[in-house]
Amino acid sequence: MQKSIFLAALEDFLTRKFLLITFAPFLITFVLLGMLFYGSISQLLDMLSLLAQNPEAINSPDVAQFAQEHHWLAAIASSTIFHYIAGALLAVLGTLLAVLLSTAVATMVMGFFIPTVVREIHRRHYPDVSLDGGVSMGEYIMLMLSTLGKAIGVFILTLFVYFIPLLNTIAVNIPFYYLFHSLYVLDVGGEIFKKEELIAVLKKHRPKIMGTTLVLYLITLIPFAGMLLQVYFVSVLAHLFLRLKARSS
């Protein structure tokens, strides 16, 4: 009896290679942005000290005049307590911003690793199943544009429900789920099936595939999970599609 695709994907996700693919882009970006923010914070605090001690040394005449006219601001800026508080607040805000930007960058970079993840899942678990990924760049773009158009259409159709309490919570997620489902299926399935095969598989196994992507979409509603678990999502769908292809062979 085969393991659940969710459990099998989790075991793959926890391997060194997949963890590296998941977190390396995030950590590298975070370190670089952290250094940038730290340098900017240091320069800002140094400028405040200079402004407090000698306003005329500031190149901007307007800033220098403002500092001269408001001596109490200069006194506050020169105090040690202010430097500690301002430094701590800027450090916290800078760290949060670095985390958010790093997560966003990692999310975009992850898209380039989908073929690597699919091939690794194939090598480890399904070496006897052929990989016939045959969706060309032109076909991919056309399918993506079609998906985006349908998602916008679904959004428009569900607009009238947005003003009904409780139902609006479900309605607002329908177009986003459709987009999530379609793009992941296209990205992962396109690495395994030819275009015609993929369309046939989606029609034949639609409930199973949509049930799987629905579970994954619900996971994305957990803060940061959708950004940091993309490798896991790809692994789950790779297991699903490769098993479906193995059965049809």
What is the rounded CA–CA span in Å between residue 79 and residue 14?
49
Q: Tokens standing for 66?
A: 């403002």
Q: Which phi and psi (to 5°) does residue 58 adopt?
A: -75, 135
What is the rounded CA–CA span in Å between residue 156 and residue 226?
25
pLDDT exceeds 90 at position 242: yes
Domain extents in the chain: 5-248
Question: What pLDDT digit, counting tens, does each position of 152-198 carry?
Answer: 777 777 767 766 766 667 777 788 888 888 888 888 988 898 888 88
Average pLDDT over residues 139-158: 72
Percent of the chain clearing pLDDT 90 (strictly above): 20
Supply the pLDDT for residue 108: 63
Supply the pLDDT for residue 98: 65
Helix (H/G/I), strand (E/B), else coil: 11: helix
Question: What pLDDT digit, counting tens, does each position of 32-79 carry?
Answer: 777 777 766 666 666 666 555 555 555 555 555 555 555 555 556 556
Residue 131 confidence class, pLDDT cut points 50, 70, 90: confident
Supply the pLDDT for residue 34: 72
Mean pLDDT, rounded, of the chain: 77
Whether the CA torsion 232, 234, 236, 239 is positive or negative: it is: negative
Supply the pLDDT for residue 172: 75
Supply the pLDDT for residue 214: 93
Percent of the chain clearing pLDDT 70 (strictly above): 62
Query: Secondary structure of 147-205 in the HEC alphabet?
Result: HHHHHHHHHHHCHHHCCCCCHHHHHHHHHHHHHHHHHHHHHHHHHHCCHHHHHHHHHHC
Supply the pLDDT for residue 72: 56
pLDDT exceeds 80 at position 199: yes
44 vs 222, which has greater pLDDT?
A: 222
Window from 7-11, 145-149, 177-181 with minimum mean pLDDT: 145-149
